[in-house]
Amino acid sequence: MTPKTFAFFPEAAFGPALNSVGIAQAITKMGHRAVFLSDPGFVEIYEGYGFEAHPVALSEPMPPEEMAKFWEDFINGHIPNFAKAPIDQIDNYVKECWEAIVDSAKWAQKDLPAVLDKIKPDVIAVDNVILFPAIKQYGVPWVRIISCSENEIEDPAIPPHLSGMSETDTEGHAAFRARFEEVIAPIHADFNTFLGENNEAPHKLGEFFEASPHLNLMLYPEPLTYTREHPLDPDQFQYLEGCVRTDEPYEVPEFKANNDGPLLYISFGSLGAGDTDLLKRLIALMGKSRYRALVNVGDYMDAYDDIPDNVIIQSWYPQPSVIPQVDAVIHHGGNNSFTECLYFGKPAIIMPYVWDGHDNAMRVQETGYGFRSDRYEWTPEELIAKIETCLTDDRMQARLDKISLHMQGSDGPGKAARLLAGLVE
């Protein structure tokens, strides 16, 4: 076998980045070369896993620490919007995200041709929500990885992406789509101008990407998929049943109190950690409970004091090594946390704040694998009741055991690697 070069280009967020790491690990085991095209702020992440990474500017160039601070400030500035319903986030958080995403595609177009010529990939895998013309036009098979909720691939019969709506709320679906298209129209027109300048056809209003004609990889677990009006072609769309990476081992430390109590893991991701008031409220509740809790507080360790003896906080955890050891998880609905809980058969309470966290929270509740919780409007009694159900509901645990067996038997990273390699073998 002649080794081939596979280039991965995830968006600058830990969910897509670490999913692609899992696939790249499997590609490497097959004897191929895995290389990352990376936002400058994420180069060290990929290098930390032993991969070659090449920076691609996705915004005006600035030092990596300034870029990290930019997105931290962006998220923290929207914390007041986290209390709003998804439809009421369209004209603030969602709008500003799409403005930044379109700008990122314009910036990437400046760097990508030269970087691709340097790497000379045989296949390019993109985990993002927007089209990069240079990748589509490079002349080798390109693959779209959909690491967000499955409804990122739209269909008239399912809830719109980012809506967090029930599958049956068709009236709500129409209202969300109408509002989204109204707000997004000027941004989308700018995007279509950019496409025209780069010899690409305009996209339909509301759509910023397209399916790859070669292969599309869905990280979503197939048992939770929606019933579509237009079923996805299995020759073009493949479900990976999650794509859990291998991370460093983790040993649960001894707690000063409740050391034999049920163990919870609480994390809102690296950016959601800025919501320190909510995390402090959860930590205080844990301190009055029978549980133990590992809490991810991100870069905000200095914001916490008087931590209860049954709570341990850290700035980071090797999450795929932690979740198998806990009894339940409270998280924000990001795709990694969403799929890892299912992969390891752990019940989750999802407190979403933005993007597809809303969709994942609703889907977990509707399919019986955990609970959706309002992010702020809950009482201690309500949350404790949900936790106790997660710990004691035998039917829920039976569903989780079944989907865990299914997902682990599917070997998402290995399946993705085989499909990618199949494009050039």
In b/e form, how buried is each residue of 170-191, taking b as 16+ CB within 10 angstroms? eebbeebbebbeebbeebbeeb
Contacts of 232 (CB under 8 A, 6+ apart): 153, 218
CA gap 368, 342 in Å, rounded: 11
SS3 label, residue 216: strand
Cβ(136)–Cβ(198) under 8 Å?
A: no
**CATH 3.40.50.2000, domain 263-409, yes or no:** yes
CA gap 230, 220 in Å, rounded: 18
Q: What is the pLDDT of residue 62?
A: 75
Cβ(131)–Cβ(81) under 8 Å?
A: no
CA gap 404, 344 in Å, rounded: 6
Boundaries of CATH 3.40.50.2000 in the chain?
Answer: 5-245+410-422, 263-409
Q: Which superfamily does CATH assign the domain made up of 5-245+410-422 to?
A: Glycogen Phosphorylase B; (3.40.50.2000)
CA gap 255, 359 in Å, rounded: 35
SS3 label, residue 120: coil
- Taking only Cα atoms into account, the Rg of the chain, rounded to an integer number of angstroms, comes to 21
DSSP codes of every residue in 40-106: GGGHHHHHHTT-EEEE--SSS---HHHHHHHHHHHHHHTGGGGGS-GGGGIIIIIHHHHHHHHHHHH
Q: What is the pLDDT of residue 59?
A: 87
Q: What is the pLDDT of residue 63?
A: 75
Closest among 344, 338, 305, 353 to 88, alpha carbons compared: 353
Is the pTM higher than 0.85? The answer reads yes
Q: What is the pLDDT of residue 98?
A: 96
In b/e form, how buried is each residue of 212-226, taking b as 16+ CB within 10 angstroms? bebbbbbbbbeebbb
Alpha helix positions (H), 223-334: 269-272, 276-287, 319-322
Q: State how far the alpha carbon of 12 is from the alpha carbons of 80, 95, 121, 378, in Å.
A: 23, 18, 20, 32
CA gap 352, 201 in Å, rounded: 35
What is the mean pLDDT of each successive set of 10 residues along the chain, which is 425 residues long? 93 86 94 95 93 93 72 81 94 95 96 97 97 97 93 95 95 97 98 98 96 95 92 94 84 96 94 91 97 96 95 95 98 92 97 94 96 96 98 97 94 94 93
CA gap 48, 26 in Å, rounded: 16
Residues in the chain: 425
243-289: pLDDT as tens digits: 777 789 999 999 999 999 999 999 998 778 889 999 999 999 999 99
CA gap 108, 296 in Å, rounded: 32
Q: What is the pLDDT of residue 242?
A: 81
